[in-house]
Amino acid sequence: MTSKTAVVSGIKWTSASTMGRRVLGLAANIVFARLLAPADFGLVAMAGVMLGFVDIFKDLGTGAALVREKEARPTLLSSVFWLNCGFGLAMTLLMLALSPLVAAFYQEARVQPVVAVMALSFFLSSLSIVHTSVLTREMAFERLAKVELAASVLSYAIGIGAALLGHGVWSLVYQVIANAALGTLFTWMASRWRPQLVFAWDEIRGITGYSLNLAGYNIFYYFAQNLDNLLIGRFLGSEALGLYDLAYKLMTFPMQAISAVFGRVMLPYYARAQDDLPRFRQAFLRVAGTIAFVTFPMMIGLLAVREHFVFAVFGEAWAQVVPLLAMFAPLAAIRSVLTTTGSIYVATGHTGLQLRWGIASNLIVFAGLAAGLKWGINGVAAGFTLTSLLLLYPNLAIPFRLIGLRVPALLRELAPTIAATALMFALVAGLDLLLAGIGLAARIGHGALLAVLALLGAAAYLAATWLLNRAMLRELLAMAGIRKPAPASLT
């Protein structure tokens, strides 16, 4: 299989998996929001902040290190497997012991058993890290996609079933545990690799410099992304955190559903192209342009219809999410492209630089979050948004230097998509204001108006794209197999 064929196949299958899981997750959250209270979401979010941080340590960057290694030696794979198992078990036991302290920190006794049970996911997921890395090295994205989709469908079915039976917050916990257990089981079934009873410290030491720098960056990045949840949960309570967490999940949807697809598929490709910078730059710009083509209209469209979306989909109990989306939706569009720069550090082996810049930039984010706390969840969201925009240029320029790319080149790549998205937003927002002014919006309801505006926005974006960004549209149609592809430039 050629590089381009492998990449296109990987993007298709990973897109199917990631988009399928995110759509399932969004649909499940809508169902959960109808069956559960915001405080239930808040309790799981409280536990998630602590558990997500500890989750970083079960891997320590070894998964990415195995993907980047030029030779996957059997002794190295087995050694990393047993290391990850040990860390996973240690993290599970640690969080069981610390769960009372977590409850004391939040001043919320109900979070203690939630943390204790969810901690089991550490050990369960640690059993499949190496298997997933082996499949990724092989670019076996079809098998990975089937594994992930199957685990997601079954685990969400378990969670929703529990919610319908009245299990409250535990339905969310059951879904997390079931997903970890089923994901590990199915990954073992999909991979032919099996660990040997061997452990060599020399093999581990060979990847520690790279993997520990990557893990260190992930720690600081995690804090930057979750300090808002920590502060809100501690000082504003579980209900406020439940509202904020829903808005934040909507913001991260394009990064998790689209950017993550390309990041996962392109990492092994970038690693192979690390000595061919023109090829690296070209591939990166094409990926960034493709991501923006999808995420920009999605999130800017959500900005235009945010009130109708929240009231129609989640209900009036979630009204406070509307002003949060006003800040998070445009930021999500930007971050969907920005997040892909992490692959540059990882593929070129500059995880030390990533760690140093991550520390500096995250301290600025911390300050913004703390400053906004006195204005409640809207203030925290504003602090996060403003610091993210302040750091946008250096977050692009620093990794771009590693491959000889300049920020204006990215802006030129994105310009047609930005223009088409702006035209779409102007039309949808303008029509919404017009309908509200004549009183029609109140008569037809949020659901009907959301459907009308969404269809109008999609049609407007496609029409603007045909005029301003036809080449990108044709390329995506070719990738999807709808039209004959242009000559390949990925080799």
| Coil, helix or strand at residue 271 | helix
Residue 259 has pLDDT above 90, yes or no: no
Q: How confident is the model at residue 348 (pLDDT cuts 50, 70, 90)?
A: confident
Neighbours of 111 (CB within 10 A): 26
Per-residue pLDDT tens over the stretch 183-200:
999 999 998 889 998 888
Pair 207, 345: CB distance under 8 Å: no
What is the reported pLDDT for 275?
A: 67
What is the reported pLDDT for 488?
A: 44
Neighbours of 382 (CB within 10 A): 18
Q: Which of 93-102, 156-165, 243-252 has the highest mean pLDDT?
A: 156-165
Q: What is the DSSP string of 327-372?
A: HHHHHHHHHHHHGGGHHHHHHHT-HHHHHHHHHHHHHHHHHHHHHH
Polymer length in residues for the chain: 491
What is the reported pLDDT for 1?
A: 45
Pair 332, 252: CB distance under 8 Å: yes
Residue 485 has pLDDT above 50, yes or no: no
Residue 315 has pLDDT above 80, yes or no: yes
Proportion of the chain above pLDDT 70, given as a percent: 81
Least confident of 60-69, 347-356, 405-414: 60-69
Residue 120 has pLDDT above 80, yes or no: yes
pTM metric for this prediction: 0.64
Residue 4 has pLDDT above 70, yes or no: no
What is the reported pLDDT for 257?
A: 63
Per-residue pLDDT tens over the stretch 410-468:
999 999 999 999 999 999 999 998 888 887 767 788 889 999 999 999 999 999 999 99
Rounded CA Rg of the chain: 22
Per-chain mean pLDDT for the chain: 83
